[in-house]
Amino acid sequence: MKLLSIIIVILLSVSFVSAETCFDNDEDGYLSDECGGTDCNDNNPNSWQVGVFWVDNDLDGYYLSGLTTAFDDGRISVCYGSEIPEYYIEETQGPDCDDNNNLLTTNCEIPEFSVIAAGLALIGALGTFVLIRKK
Ligand SMILES: [Ca+2]
Ligand SMILES: [Ca+2]
Ligand SMILES: [Ca+2]
């Protein structure tokens, strides 16, 4: 009987301690994940859930590739709140060849006509330089 009382006292102490250490620090209504809750950031009331998204810095629908992530498809897990944070996307068209330029998506090669135009401009500039030097 005495042993049972001791066990009960121990169990009550343990439950009291765990109840005391598991509180909602940022008071967003979600317990931290250490306490069996879902709050991935118990110090920020605007973040309480984990989502897996692609990064899209130029918001063209193509994701930033080359990141080392836990997922094979380049997504990363993000702790967030009621809305998907800016520059993260749920759906994508594919990897972005330049994620800082929303005009470039799948092909970042310089178009041939630009190379020809740049060459003509250079020849023109050299010709002007030679004419000025001859005067
Ligand atoms: Ca939180
Ligand atoms: Ca992009
Ligand atoms: Ca882009």
Q: For residue 77, is pLDDT > 70?
A: yes
Q: Determine the pLDDT at residue 3.
A: 58
The ligand minimizing its distance to the Cα of 98 is 3
Of the candidates 112, 44, 50, 116, the one whose C-alpha atom is nearest the C-alpha of residue 80 is 50
Report if residue 71 sits inside a domain: yes
How many Å lie between the centroid of ligand 3 and the Cα of residue 76?
A: 18
Report if residue 134 sits inside a domain: no
How many Å lie between the centroid of ligand 2 and the Cα of residue 63?
A: 5
Burial of 69 per CB tally in 10 Å (0-12, 13-18, 19+): middle
Report if residue 22 sits inside a domain: yes
For 56-83, what is the mean pLDDT?
94
Burial of 96 per CB tally in 10 Å (0-12, 13-18, 19+): buried
Structural domain boundaries enclosing 66: 2-120
Q: Determine the pLDDT at residue 7.
A: 52
The span from the CA of 135 to the CA of 132, in Å, is 5
CA angle 21/42/84 to nearest 5° reads 155
Report if residue 132 sits inside a domain: no
- The helix/strand/coil state of 67 is coil
Q: For residue 47, is pLDDT > 50?
A: yes
Report if residue 127 sits inside a domain: no
Q: For residue 17, is pLDDT > 50?
A: no
The span from the CA of 85 to the CA of 51, in Å, is 10
Of the candidates 16, 23, 117, 58, the one whose C-alpha atom is nearest the C-alpha of residue 125 is 117
Report if residue 78 sits inside a domain: yes
Report if residue 50 sits inside a domain: yes
Q: For residue 43, is pLDDT > 60?
A: yes
For 31-37, what is the mean pLDDT?
88
Q: For residue 88, is pLDDT > 90?
A: yes
- The helix/strand/coil state of 52 is strand
Q: How many domains does the chain have?
A: 1
The ligand minimizing its distance to the Cα of 88 is 2
Report if residue 125 sits inside a domain: no
The model carries a pTM of 0.64
Element of type H or E holding 96: strand 94-96
Q: Which residues surround ligand 2, an ion (CB under 5 A)?
A: 56, 58, 60, 62, 96, 99
In this prediction, residue 102 has a pLDDT band, given cuts at 50, 70 and 90, of very high
Identify how many contiguous H helices and E strands the chain contains and give both numbers: 2, 5
